[in-house]
Every structure is written in structure tokens, then in C-alpha cells.
């Protein structure tokens, strides 16, 4: 059976570290209409934080850019979140998903972002074209509402 999108939100933010919390809060507030559990909303917030942080830290590398966030809610209680940048892109999308892999030479980053996102969401899809964009799509099926 095909799921139908019942609500959608789009948001564009400058890729600034102060906007990581803004993006996380907006996504979680939008998802709240499904009355998720505290654990489910915490999982979503954590995964979204990681994806937005990747855009801020890695995509634009010392230049200005924007983060494009789209959230879709489906009638089957599934949330799909797309976080996209138009930055430098990723050469090897499988390598960057390897735990502890990082392109950060300063030693400040752990290389666990994609592992964290995958652990909190049901599905993660990563698409990237070097020099053009990177898009992370996160999906989570929420538990049924208790009556």
C-alpha cells in the first residue's frame, strides 16, 4: 500500500553554527503534530543535528552557503527529512559513512556523524555529486498512537 504525504514543511537556513539548533527545533516542532514519544523526538533531533552540522562544517569550507531542509509526514506515521546543501559534495559516499572517518584534520571531529544518524533513524540515504550538492534523507516510522 502506498503512503500519502499529509503535510510538508520546507526551510532554508544560512549554514551558520547558530542555525543548527534552529533547524533541529523547527523539525522537531513540525514532527510534534504526530504526537511522537519522547524517545522518538529525541532520536529525530539528534539525527537532524548531525546532518545539519555536516553541512555547516564540511559542505561550504570557509564560504557562505545555505542548508535546505524538507520534512514530509506520511499517513503511515512515517517522517521523511531531507537535508541538502549546494557545497563541495562528497567523492566517496560509502567511505564517509565509515565509523571514525573524518576529513577534519584539526582533530575536533570524531567521524561518527553518519553512524549516529543511522542508529537513530530507520533509514538513511546519502546522495552527492562532487562540486554540486550533498543530500541526506532520513526516515523514521513512529510507533502507533495509544488509545
* Distance separating the N- and C-terminal Cα atoms of the chain: 24
The catalytic site residues sit at: 50, 54, 109
| Residues in Cβ contact with 101 at an 8 Å cutoff, skipping those fewer than 6 apart | 95, 111
Q: How many angstroms separate the Cα of 144 from the Cα of each of 37, 98, 118, 126, 147? A: 10, 33, 21, 28, 9
Amino acid at each position: 500500500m502506498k503512503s500519502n504525504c499529509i503535510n510538508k514543511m520546507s526551510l532554508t537556513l544560512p549554514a551558520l553554527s547558530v542555525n543548527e539548533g534552529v533547524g533541529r527545533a523547527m523539525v522537531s516542532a513540525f514532527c510534534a503534530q504526530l504526537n511522537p514519544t519522547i524517545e522518538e523526538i529525541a532520536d529525530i533531533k539528534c539525527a537532524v543535528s548531525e546532518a545539519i552540522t555536516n553541512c555547516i562544517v564540511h559542505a561550504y569550507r570557509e564560504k557562505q552557503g545555505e542548508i535546505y531542509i524538507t520534512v514530509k509526514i506520511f499517513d503511515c506515521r512515517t517522517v521523511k527529512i531531507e537535508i541538502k546543501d549546494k557545497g563541495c559534495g562528497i567523492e566517496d559516499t560509502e567511505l564517509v559513512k565509515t565509523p571514525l572517518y573524518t576529513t577534519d584534520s584539526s582533530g575536533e571531529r570524531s567521524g561518527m556523524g553518519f553512524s549516529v544518524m543511522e542508529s537513530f533513524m530507520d533509514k538513511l540515504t546519502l546522495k552527492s555529486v562532487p562540486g554540486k550538492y550533498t543530500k541526506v534523507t532520513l526516515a523514521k516510522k513512529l510507533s502507533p498512537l495509544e488509545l
